[in-house]
Chains A and B, each alone.
Chain A
Amino acid sequence: EAQMVESGGGVVQPGASLRLSCAVSGFTVSDHWMSWVRQAPGKGLEWVASIDQDGSEKDFADSVKGRFSISRDNAKNSLYLQMNSLSAEDTAIYYCATERTIFEIWGQGTTATVSS
């Protein structure tokens, strides 16, 4: 059974950084584009970033471009999101998901809270 488990969330001050991880089991991550999608408290879903199978192609939402980076370690079957220069607007549940143009399988999410 495919499973994705996010970790790395927490409470940080504005301007700080966080690195989120997504550990995948039940399928081979190297076969798939992978993405991060977030959801601010009480709000809708927002696509954040996607990365191709070997990490050579990456897409970012305008709201995070230049501050966030996405990476993967296929040997560890894992996905990462490095978040820098965080602001209150980045407070959200962050989900990892398979694919890019469609988000087929989702993890349960990890919460990042940016607050002074």
Chain B
Amino acid sequence: SYVLTQPPSVSVAPGKTATITCGGTNFGDYSVHWYQQKPGQAPVLVIHYDIDRPSGIPDRFSGSKSGNTATLTISRVEAGDEADYYCQVWDSSSGGVFGGGTQLTVL
């Protein structure tokens, strides 16, 4: 089955830039999507199709993909960005595949 690998945790000071990575294989064949989940809430889509922001998502959130790594970048981090972040792809054999999630801590 297809596997996505994320670091369990990332810490960043307010106002700085957070980068969360997502590793896979043959990433060129996949579109990567990113979700933010705050405690006790449902996930929210923050980046779709590798680099695009859905309507209503601040432009501090950006996505990129290079080789077998996708990256979610959050600029000028705020306390309200503290959350779990998940990457996701659709694999024709495995179906919907999520990374294990990264807990973002704002120091």
The residues of A with any CB-CB pair to B shorter than 8 Å are 35, 37, 44-47, 50, 59-62, 95, 100-109
In the complex, what's the smallest C-beta–C-beta distance from B5 to chain A, in angstroms?
A: 12
B88 proximal to A (CB < 8 A)? yes
CA distance A87 to B56 in the complex (A): 39
A102 touches B42 (CB 8 A): no
Q: Interface majority SS on A: helix, strand, loop or mixed?
A: loop
B101 touches A102 (CB 8 A): no
In the complex, what's the smallest C-beta–C-beta distance from A45 to chain B, in angstroms?
A: 4
In the complex, what's the smallest C-beta–C-beta distance from B27 to chain A, in angstroms?
A: 15
Chain B residues touching A, range: 20 to 34
Q: Which residue of chain B is the closest to A48 with respect to CB atoms?
A: B96
A102 touches B31 (CB 8 A): yes
B86 touches A45 (CB 8 A): yes
The residues of B with any CB-CB pair to A shorter than 8 Å are 1, 31, 33, 35, 37, 41-45, 48-49, 54, 84, 86, 88, 90, 95-101
Number of A-B contacts (CB under 8 A): 59
A101 touches B90 (CB 8 A): yes
Q: Which residue of chain A is the closest to B100 with respect to CB atoms?
A: A44
Residue from the set A35, A44, A50, A60 with the largest chain B CB neighbour count within 10 Å: A44
CA distance A88 to B33 in the complex (A): 30
B90 touches A45 (CB 8 A): no
CA distance A40 to B90 in the complex (A): 20
In the complex, what's the smallest C-beta–C-beta distance from A20 to chain B, in angstroms?
A: 15
CA distance A35 to B88 in the complex (A): 14
B1 touches A62 (CB 8 A): yes
Q: Which residue of chain A is the closest to B45 with respect to CB atoms?
A: A104
B45 touches A47 (CB 8 A): no
Question: Inside 8 A of A102's CB, which chain B residues have their CB?
Answer: 31, 33, 45, 48-49, 88, 90
CA distance A46 to B35 in the complex (A): 13
A47 touches B48 (CB 8 A): no
